[in-house]
Amino acid sequence: MSTAAQFDIQYRQYLDPEGRFLPEVDPATLPEFTRDPAELLKMYRMMVLVRAFDTKAINLQRTGKLGTYPPAAGHEAAQVGAAAALHAEDVIAPVYREIGTQMWRGVRMVEILRYWGGDEAGNDFVNTRHDFPWCVPIATQTLHAAGAALAFKIRNQPRCALAYIGDGGTSEGTFYEAMNVAGVLKLPVIFYVVNNRWAISTPLCQQTAAQTLAQKGIAAGIPGIQVDGNDILAVRHVLEQALARARHGEGPTVVEALTYRLSDHTTADDASRYRSASEVEQGWAVEPMKRMRAFLQHLNLWDEAQEVAYRQECNLLIEEGVNEYFATTKPPVTAMFDHLYANPPKRLLDQRDEAVQLSGAKSLHG
Amino acid sequence: MAKVTLVEAITLAHNWEMSHDPDVLVLGQDVGRNGGVFRATQGLQEKFGNQRVIDTPLAEGMIAGLCVGMAAQGLKPVAEIQFMGFIYPAMDQIVNHMTRLRNRTRGRLTCPVVIRTPHGGGIHSPEHHSESVESMFCHIPGLRVVCPSSPARAYGLLLAAIREPDPVLFLEPVRIYRYARQEVEDNGQALPLDVCYVLREGTDCTIVTWGAMTVESLKAAEELARQGISAEVIDLATISPIDAETILDSVARTGRLVIVHEAARNVGVGAEIAAIVAEHGLYDLEAPIQRVTGYDTIVPLARLEHDYAPSVARIVAAVRATLS
């Protein structure tokens, strides 16, 4: 007997939880951005803003001012690191938790709040016109990214698509179909698995018998790599390399970022029903913000006073975004009819008239 | 002007639109080198290359999902699903994304996609190859469902479907893919969607039908004419949304309605047509509405398939029942 094929999955981590380079890492070999104070601070500041905004969004939901909301706490390095690796002209197909990437790319707080507050208008991003909106059905977005990547390839554009997917999503058949077609057509797409260990109440050990999720690309002929998703330097570097491959016609990559969902699945979930406090505590011990802040402090790029001042700045920005959201009004009843077709059928227009009449009658009589 | 079959008209329409719009491309299983299992895309890959006529791996959901991604980037994919019985894995993408993207982004991203698929039975196909499940798709907001009944209609309606800025499910009646040749001028002229076509005028009874059943219905009208009964035959053409006006106008003149479709009766499109006439044309009716449809059974294999689908005799009997 002989070996027909052999594969391995590499794991990448640069910083330990205290923000120091691992002994085996030679910082001089790392890319330029790891030595660029402006880039490092930009990434950290976005992580802080995202965490603060996330906390505010949860509070808005708890006080009845926002609908169900999926918190992002713990995913800041995975999300912001990915955003920093992408080019503006690339396209993302997010799941529903990726505010860290979206805010970096220009999605406005009012848009995020408007969507989770119950208005599709929040998906009409003014700055990232090509990015896909939040995707609630699991794994389906991987094919949209592959389709966009196929469009880039056909048009000979040096652009890439990045599809997010969670650990639970990798159990869906769609994920395999997307990887398979991306592999065979050599599409410029990244399948970015953000493995936060929990799919609502299902832990990874009940999701798959696979040792890693990165290896799920192997059967599709796609290289896979695992990265510490709480180490923003490693995340950004791994994705930059995968994107460069894709941009140069070398095809897709599966990148698995290991992180931890520090919060509930959504505000409608209570994670204490299915996971222990001690496990969550361990999650907090290795969370990404602390690590990046410590790293910056070791480099003397950041201190407590700057932290306090910046957090105040964040609060003002968030207050502005929230006020903008509060100033939005309920969409007219016609909104559900007016964006369904470019050429609406007559039967729909009749129903629209009916709804307008009823809503008018309602406003007259309270 | 050439005399072509329905399936050749489909190829002509692809060819015209791909020649005139660089954003139009074709994808699906076996559509390239093989020209499609029914040869609907014959010769297109040779002419337009494998970047615009893409042989995909075998996964219907993947084909539909790629269409969403490409369309969101401004391309106009025309995808072939090899048989309607294999379309179900694509429904997730059609229902959850393709038909919703415009609405949920308020028009920022749109899906000008055509999904073509063979429709119905009658050609001794294997199991799962004779489905006519259009009613499942007519329930989906944001989707048009179109079914041509002749080569000329296939050419014009497919051009219209490709040019429509929103998704269209284009059903191709296999039974009449090569039933007859018709002169079709290959001039890029589209036919309007969302309207019915009156195939034969009549005064005693309205028959509403679509796809391959137009052939049976026209034969039935001939037979009825010999019996002194004048039947009007309407080709629904766009199955969803339904052009209610043309049907109601006809029923107002004839006072009788027979709906003929190959699909199973229960919650079939015939039920919607009957409901429209009940809501808006009840007082024009002089007899109960009749439906001639496939039975609420699984489409049987070849030896019984002609007992399943509406026949000329069943249609004639239904029309006579409205007059008795």
- Domain extents for chain B? 2-184, 197-323
B241–A144 CB contact, under 8 Å: no
Residue A130 near chain B (CB below 8 Å): yes
Averaged over A56-61, what is the pLDDT? 98
pLDDT of B175 reads 96
CATH topology of domain B2-184: Rossmann fold (3.40.50)
User: In this complex, how many residue pairs, one in chain A and one in chain B, have their CB atoms less than 8 Å apart?
Assistant: 138
Residues A86 and A210 in one domain: yes
Chain B CB contacts of A185 below 8 Å: 54
Same fold, B2-184 and B197-323: yes
A177–B62 CB contact, under 8 Å: yes
Whether residue A362 is predicted with pLDDT greater than 70 in this model: the reply is: no
Averaged over A241-256, what is the pLDDT? 98
Whether residue A365 is predicted with pLDDT greater than 80 in this model: the reply is: no
pLDDT digits (tens, 9 = 90+) for A317-355: 999 999 999 999 999 999 999 999 999 999 999 999 999
Residues A123 and A245 in one domain: yes
Tokens of B80: 């072939």
| Beta bridge partners of residue A92, listed in sequence order | A162
Tokens of B7: 């399936």
Chain A CB contacts of B57 below 8 Å: 177, 180-181, 184
Task: State the Cα–Cα distance between residues A57 and A70, nearest whole angstrom.
Answer: 9
Residue A177 near chain B (CB below 8 Å): yes
Residue A163 near chain B (CB below 8 Å): no
Residues A323 and A353 in one domain: no
Residues A233 and A354 in one domain: no
Please give the helix or strand (H or E) that residue B61 lies within, else none: helix B60-72
Q: Structural domain tally of chain A?
A: 2
In which domain, by residue range, is A315 found?
Answer: 10-331
**CATH of the structural domain B197-323, one choice from 1.10.10.10, 3.40.50.920, 3.40.50.150, 3.40.50.300:** 3.40.50.920
What DSSP character marks residue B50? T
pLDDT digits (tens, 9 = 90+) for B251-277: 999 999 999 999 999 999 999 999 999
Is A192 among the domain residues? yes
Chain A CB contacts of B61 below 8 Å: 143, 173-174, 177
Residues A297 and A364 in one domain: no
Specify the 3-state DSSP secondary structure of A260. Answer: coil
- Choose, out of A138, A141, A154, the residue to mutate when testing the contact with B (most B CBs < 10 Å): A154
Pairing of strands B2-4, B182-184: antiparallel
Residues A292 and A343 in one domain: no
Is A216 among the domain residues? yes
- pTM, two decimal places: 0.96
Give, in order, the Cα–Cα distances in Å from B264 to each of A271, A302, B88.
46, 70, 17
pLDDT digits (tens, 9 = 90+) for A163-201: 999 999 999 999 999 999 999 999 999 999 999 999 999
Specify the 3-state DSSP secondary structure of B169. Answer: strand
Mean residue pLDDT across chain A: 96
Confidence band (pLDDT; 50, 70, 90) for A79?
very high
B129 is catalytic: yes
- Choose, out of A141, A341, A354, the residue to mutate when testing the contact with B (most B CBs < 10 Å): A341
pLDDT of A322 reads 98
Q: B28, B83 in Cβ contact below 8 A?
A: no
Is A5 among the domain residues? no
Residue B66 near chain A (CB below 8 Å): yes
A154–B52 CB contact, under 8 Å: yes
Task: State the Cα–Cα distance between residues B32 and A131, nearest whole angstrom.
Answer: 30
Residues A60 and A163 in one domain: yes
Q: Which of A140, A151, A174 sits opposite B75 (nearest CB)?
A: A151
pLDDT of B192 reads 98
Give, in order, the Cα–Cα distances in Å from A225 to each of A258, A259, B111.
11, 14, 33
Averaged over B227-245, what is the pLDDT? 98
A270 to chain B, minimum CA–CA distance in Å?
Answer: 27
CATH of the domain at A36: 3.40.50.970
- CA-wise closest residue to A211 among A198, A192, A224: A224
Whether residue B187 is predicted with pLDDT greater than 60 in this model: the reply is: yes
Residues A78 and A198 in one domain: yes
Is A2 among the domain residues? no
Averaged over A202-224, what is the pLDDT? 97
Averaged over A240-255, what is the pLDDT? 98
pLDDT digits (tens, 9 = 90+) for A99-145: 999 999 999 999 999 999 999 999 999 999 999 999 999 999 999 99
Half-sphere exposure of B269 (CA within 13 A, CB side): 29
Residues A278 and A345 in one domain: no
Task: State the Cα–Cα distance between residues A302 and A44, nearest whole angstrom.
Answer: 10
